[in-house]
């Protein structure tokens, strides 16, 4: 029973809360910039564009209608189970598949404005623009200096000063300079596994590519060497566009801005890595990254 009372009843305090005082804190406190995505990659122009790409090894089709864009100065990871086509696609990006017999490619891949598979494309020049780093480090049986200078020498560069400057710059970019600057004439074979892989990255950087393609670059490295390469990838992104194939989900999550998931030669889903690893749009992606696939 409500008791009648002629006097006005004040509204409960909690229903009359004054608005929060404004101006007490700077705007940056009010709107924290929390998302992990590098905002630059959201507006970055396209560096690599794959359009309706189909690839056949003889009669067997390995890639099906792949459409994909890689933003300039970003890192994209290709993930997926073995045989899904991720390394095949990576090798298409500098026409490494040309080295395999009976490969047929349909569709288009643009590197900048260049159609990689257009008739008359200079494949050697193309591979200079898209350097490759492989799963197993493969230094030449030469000195550290000569390994890095090799690409420039075969391009015809012989000026000792130019070569020395390029080797130093590349080794610094690969985070190896301080470790090897006093033994550049030593054999590259004497370096540790992690150092050898960074040497291979330096060798790829020496010819100033636009894109660096990495095929499981850390799979043979210990966690410390892996961490160094991953830090290096994040630094190299400022100058280069990087595409990395990895079986290590956490590595894809740590280093890449975008992730593409492949299955049976098809691109199932691609998107911001942050989104792919917290809320993927496709059930198969979810199953794969949570280890429930198959």
Partner 1 sequence: MRQFDQELRDLRDGILAMAGLAEHMIDLTIQAIVERSRTKADEVMALDRNLDEWELRLDRLCIDLLALRSPAAGDLRLIASSLKIVPELERIGDHCCNIARRATYVHPPILSTGSLERLGQETRGMVRMAVDAFIGSDAGLARTVIKADDSVDALYGHIYRELLRLMMSDPLTIERASHLILVIKNWERIADQATNIAEEVLFILEGRSAKHAYLHEDSVE
Binding site for partner 1 (CB under 8 A): 1-3, 5, 7, 9-10, 12, 15, 249-250, 253, 277-280, 285-286, 289-292
- Closest distance to partner 1 from the beta carbon of 160 (Å): 49
Minimum CB separation of residue 23 from partner 1 in Å reads 20
What is the Cα–Cα distance from 164 to 55, expressed in whole angstroms?
A: 41
Dihedral sign (CA 181, 161, 206, 173): positive
Q: How far is CA 254 from CA 197, 229, 249, in A?
A: 19, 12, 9
By beta-carbon proximity to partner 1, the closer residue of 112 and 271 is: 271
Rounded distance between C-alpha atoms, residue 214 and residue 90, angstroms: 8
Select 6 or 119, whichever has its Cβ closest to partner 1.
Answer: 6
Task: Give CA–CA dist 271/15, Å, rounded.
Answer: 44
Taking the complex as a whole, the smallest distance from the CB of residue 37 to partner 1 amounts, in Å, to 15
Task: Please say which residue, 16 or 158, places its beta carbon nearer to partner 1.
Answer: 16
Q: Which is nearer to partner 1, 268 or 289 (CB)?
A: 289
Helices assigned H by DSSP within 101-159: 123-129, 144-154
Q: Which residue has 């993930």 as its token pair?
A: 79
Closest Cα partner for 176 from 130, 213, 139? 139
Q: In this complex, which beta carbon is closest to partner 1, that of residue 160 or of residue 292?
A: 292
- Angstrom distance (rounded) from CA 186 to CA 158: 20
Q: CA separation (Å) from 194 to 84, 173, 228, 240, 242?
A: 27, 15, 8, 21, 19
For partner 1, the closer of residues 103 and 249 by Cβ is 249
Among residues 128, 97, 125, 92, the alpha carbon closest in space to that of 110 is found at 92
Minimum gap (Å) between residue 258 Cβ and partner 1: 16
C-alpha span between 180 and 203 (Å, rounded): 14
**Closest distance of CB 291 from partner 1, Å:** 7
Q: Which is nearer to partner 1, 31 or 185 (CB)?
A: 31
Nearer to partner 1, 166 or 246 (CB): 246
Q: Measured from the CB of residue 247, what is the shortest distance to partner 1 in angstroms?
A: 14
Phi and psi, residue 244, nearest 5°:
-130, 130
**Which residues, in sequence order, are bridge partners of residue 111?**
48, 114
Q: What is the closest distance, in whole angstroms, from the C-beta atom of residue 3 to partner 1 in the complex?
A: 5
Whole-number minimum distance, CB 221 to partner 1, in Å?
Answer: 18
Helix (H, G, I), strand (E, B) or coil at 270: strand
| Closest by CA position to 195, among listed 245, 250, 232 | 232
């Amino acid at each position: 029973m409500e008791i009648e009372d002629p006097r006005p009843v004040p509204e409960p305090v909690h229903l009359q809360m004054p608005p929060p005082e404004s101006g007490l804190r700077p705007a940056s406190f009010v709107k924290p910039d929390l998302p992990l995505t590098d905002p630059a990659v959201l507006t970055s122009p396209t560096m690599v564009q794959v359009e309706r790409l189909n690839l056949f090894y003889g009669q067997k089709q390995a890639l099906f209608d792949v459409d994909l864009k890689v933003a300039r100065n970003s890192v994209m990871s290709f993930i997926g189970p073995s045989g899904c086509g991720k390394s095949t696609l990576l090798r298409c990006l500098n026409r490494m598949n040309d080295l395999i017999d009976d490969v047929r490619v349909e569709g288009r891949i643009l590197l900048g404005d260049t159609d990689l598979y257009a008739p008359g494309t200079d494949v050697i020049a193309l591979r200079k623009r898209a350097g490759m780093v492989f799963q197993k480090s493969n230094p030449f049986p030469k000195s550290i200096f000569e390994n890095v200078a090799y690409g420039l020498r075969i391009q015809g560069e012989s000026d000792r000063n130019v070569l020395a400057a390029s080797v130093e710059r590349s080794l610094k970019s690969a985070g190896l300079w301080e470790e090897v600057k006093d033994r550049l004439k030593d054999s590259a074979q004497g370096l540790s596994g992690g150092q050898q892989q960074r040497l291979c990255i330096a060798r790829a950087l020496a010819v100033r590519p636009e894109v660096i393609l990495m095929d499981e670059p850390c799979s043979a490295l210990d966690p410390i060497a892996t961490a160094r390469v991953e830090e290096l990838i994040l630094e190299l992104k400022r100058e280069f566009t990087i595409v990395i194939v990895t079986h290590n989900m956490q590595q894809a999550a740590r280093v890449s801005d975008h992730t593409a998931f492949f299955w049976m030669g098809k691109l199932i889903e691609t998107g911001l890595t942050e989104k792919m690893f917290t809320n993927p749009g496709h059930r198969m992606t979810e199953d794969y990254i949570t280890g429930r696939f198959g």
